[in-house]
Amino acid sequence: MINKTEQQEKQYLEKIKQKLLDEINKADVNIDAHSKDIQEYKDYLWENRAGMDHAEKVSMRQSIWQTALTGESAAARQKRLRKLLSSPYFGRIDFTEDGNIDKLPVYIGVHSFFDPSQNTNLIHDWRAPVSGLFYDSELGKARFESPSGTITGKISLKRQYRIRQGKMEFMLESSLNIHDDILQKELSRATDEKMKEIVATIQRDQNKIIRNDSSHVLIIQGVAGSGKTSIALHRVAYLLYKYKESITSKDILIISPNKVFADYISNVLPELGEEKIAETGMEELGRQLLEKKYRFQTFFEQVARVIEGKDRQFIRRITFKASHEMLNKLNRYVTYIENELFVPNDLKVGRYYVPYTFVAQKFLAFSRVPLFRRFAVMAQQVADFITRTHRKELNSAEVKKVESDIKKMLRYSNLRDLYKHFYDWLGEPGLYKNTKGGLEYSDVYPLIYLKQRLEGVNTNDRVKHLLIDEMQDYTPVQYAVLARLFPCKKTILGDTSQSVNPYSSSSADDIGMAFVNADKVKLLKSYRSTIEITNFTQYINLNDELIPVERHGEEPAVKEYSASDGEILGIKDVLTDFRSGEYNSLGIICKTQKQAGCLYEMLKDHPSGVYLLNPESIAFVNGVVITTAHMSKGLEFDHVIVPFVSESNYKSETDRKMLYIACTRAMHKLDVTCTGKISGFIKARN
C-alpha cells in the first residue's frame, strides 16, 4: 500500500507541496508573460492608431481581450493552487474498480490538482464523482456514478487529515463516515468572521442534499444549527462544478433576509473556487416588481409592530394575508373582475361607431391575454374593423385613444383601486389600511400577485437556479409570485421553529403547495451548540425531531438582578472577560431594535469595542455585536448574552420564538440575564 504510515504520509505531503509550488511559480511566469503581451498590444495599437484601418483595430482589440481572459484564468488557477498549498487535502480513499488490480489512493481536497508530468490528478475536487465515496461509503463494496456510468469496486482504506499552514496536525483511520474526532475538533473551534466551507466535515445526509441534481424544487427543513445554509451553498458549488458548461455563478440568485446575512455567507463560494453570486431581498425584489411606484413598510417594521402586540387589527390583517385562503380569494377575484367589472359600451371613433357587441366579442375572444394587455389587442381589432368597414386607416394616436376608451369600460382601471376593491368584494374593507408610510408590508406581494395576473409576467429566464433562505418568513402569496417569476430550479431552506412573525409564516408543506412535484428533505441533527445549550433551548421551544451532536460545554448561566444597573454592570463584566478570553465573537441579542439601541448607548464606550447591527447594516463583524433576534437569524456566535429576559419582556408566543432564536445563536457559551423575575419560558426548565 502506498503511504502506509503517518511518517510516509507526511513525506508525501511535502512532495505534493513542492509540486504545487512548482506550478505556482510557472503560473507566476505565465501571468507576467500575459501582462507583458497585453501592454505590448496596447502600445502597438496606440503608436500605429493613425495608420490602422477599422478591421485591424478590431482584430488587435480582440487579441488584447483574449490575452486578458487567458491571464485571468491563469490567475484564478494560481489562487486555487495557493489555497491548496496551505491545506492540499483532507481525506483519502483507496478504491479498486471491479476487474482492475490497480489500487491507487484518491486524495480529496477543496480543489483538484492535475500533475502534467504524471498526466494524472494527484488531488480530486470534493465535488468529483469519485469523491462522493468519501462521504457516503464504508470500507468494502462501494459504487459511484461517473459520466460514463456506474462504477463498482471496493474501498480498502479511508483516512482523514487535518492539514493547516502546510503542516499535518493529525491523521485518522476512518472506517465509517466522517470521524467524530475531526467533527468535534472543527465544531469546538472559535467562530470566524464569515461562514466557512465545510468540505472536510460534510455528513452523509448533508452530502445527499448537496449532490441532488434531479429535484426541480428542493425544500430543506433544517433545525437550528443543522448547517442548512452552508449545505445549500455547497449544493450551489456542486451544481456549478457539475454543470460548468451550462451554468455559471452569474446565473444564480440568492434571496436572503438582510444585507448582514448576505455578507456573512459571502465567503463560502469564493473559498470553494467559485465567484460570488448575486443576492437580493424580498423588499428589494418587491420594489423592482412594483417599478418603484409604491412606498411600503419594511418587513423589519412589520415584525417590530407584531412584537409590540398592541394592535390586534394589524395582526388580523397580517394573518389573513399570509393564508392560503388569501391566495385562493385573489384568484377568484381575478375571475370576478373579468366577469363583472368590465362593461362593454359602444365606441365612437371619430365619426364612426363600433357596437358594444363587437367590443364584448373581442373581450371574450382574447380571454387568454392578461386583462391589462388585452385592451391594446382589442384596440387594434377595432382599428382593423374600421378599416374593413369604412376604409379608414387609424393612426397610432387614434389607436391609443381607442385603447384608453376601452380601458375606461373597466370599473376600476387602476391597479391599486382594484386591489382596494378586492376587500370590499370580500366584505372585509377593514383588511385594507392605507398609511402615511404607504402600503403595509403584508399588502406588497398580494398587490404584486394581482399585477401579475392582470398584466402577465415577464419571467426572469436569466436566473437558472434560485436559492431562498429563511423560507418560513414568506407567505403563500409570496411563493406564488416567485413561482411565476422564476421558472428555474430552486433550493428553498429554513426552519419553521425560527419564524420571527408567527402570524405570517409558512411550513415546508405550505411551500410545497406552491411548487408542483417539490421534493422535501429534513436536516434534524444540530451541530452548532453544545448539548447543554441545546437542552436549554429545547425547554424554550421543544422540537421532538432535533438530534443534538454530543459536544459538551458549560451549562447556560441564568443571572437575575434586583436592579437594571446591576444587569448592565454584569454584562460589562462579561465583556471584560471576553476581551482576554479565547473566543472571537460575542453576540448580545435583544428582543427589539429599541432595546438594542439603548443597550448600545450604555456599552459603546467599553474597551472591548461594541458594534450595533441594525436594518441599515451591510456587514457582519467579529467582536462584540449588539443586535436583535430578527437580525441575528442565520448568524452564530461563540458566546451569546440574551439580556432583559424578564417576565414582562418575554411573555407572548412571538416572544418565545424570539427568545428561542436568540439562544440558538450560541455555539459554546450562553448567558441569559434579567432584572426582576425571569421569564416563564426560562423558569419552566426548573
- Count Cβ atoms below 10 Å from residue 445 Cβ, excluding itself: 27
How far apart CA 268 and CA 325 sit, in angstroms, is 39
Q: What would the grid cell of residue 538 be? A: 429545547
How far apart CA 658 and CA 669 sit, in angstroms, is 18
How far apart CA 84 and CA 80 sit, in angstroms, is 6
Residue type for position 614:
N
> Helix, strand, or coil here: 229?
helix
Q: What would the grid cell of residue 143 be? A: 459504487
Whole-number pLDDT of residue 636: 95
Whole-number pLDDT of residue 404: 95
Tally of helices (H runs) and strands (E runs) in the chain? 25, 23
How far apart CA 609 and CA 6 sit, in angstroms, is 44
Whole-number pLDDT of residue 686: 46
Whole-number pLDDT of residue 13: 95
With b for 16 or more beta-carbon neighbours within 10 A and e for fewer, the 587-614 pattern comes to: bbbbbbbeebeebbeebeeeebebbbbb
φ, ψ dihedrals at 460, nearest 5°: -90, 90
Which pTM value belongs to this model?
Answer: 0.89
CA-closest candidate to residue 198, choices 265, 142, 146: 265
> Helix, strand, or coil here: 18?
helix
How far apart CA 449 and CA 537 sit, in angstroms, is 38
Q: Are the CB atoms for 578 and 610 separated by under 8 Å? A: no
Strands 104-109 and 113-115: unpaired
Whole-number pLDDT of residue 110: 93
C-alpha separations of 9 from 92, 138, 491 in Å? 11, 21, 39
Residue type for position 126:
W
Whole-number pLDDT of residue 289: 96
Q: Which letter does DSSP use for residue 131 in this model?
A: G
φ, ψ dihedrals at 579, nearest 5°: -55, -35
DSSP string, 324-375: HHHHHHHHHHHHHIIIIIB----EEETTEEE-HHHHHHHHHHTTTS-HHHHH
SS3 for 29-90, per residue? HHHHHHHHHHHHHHHHHHHCCCCCCHHHHHHHHHHHHHHHHHHHHHHHHHHHHHHHHHCCCC
Q: Divide the 686 residues of the chain into consecutive groups of 10 and give the mean pLDDT of each group.
A: 86 94 80 64 66 68 64 69 91 92 88 88 94 92 91 92 91 66 70 82 92 95 94 95 93 94 90 90 96 92 88 94 96 96 93 94 96 96 93 93 95 94 96 88 97 95 96 95 96 91 86 90 94 95 92 95 96 94 95 96 93 92 94 94 97 94 96 96 67
Whole-number pLDDT of residue 196: 85
Q: In what order do the strands lie in the sheet with 666-675?
A: 557-561, 666-675, 637-642, 585-590, 623-628, 610-612
CA-closest candidate to residue 547, choices 532, 527, 519: 527
C-alpha separations of 446 from 346, 418, 469 in Å? 34, 12, 21
How far apart CA 423 and CA 445 sit, in angstroms, is 15
φ, ψ dihedrals at 113, nearest 5°: -140, 110
Whole-number pLDDT of residue 484: 96
Q: Are the CB atoms for 596 and 571 separated by under 8 Å? A: no
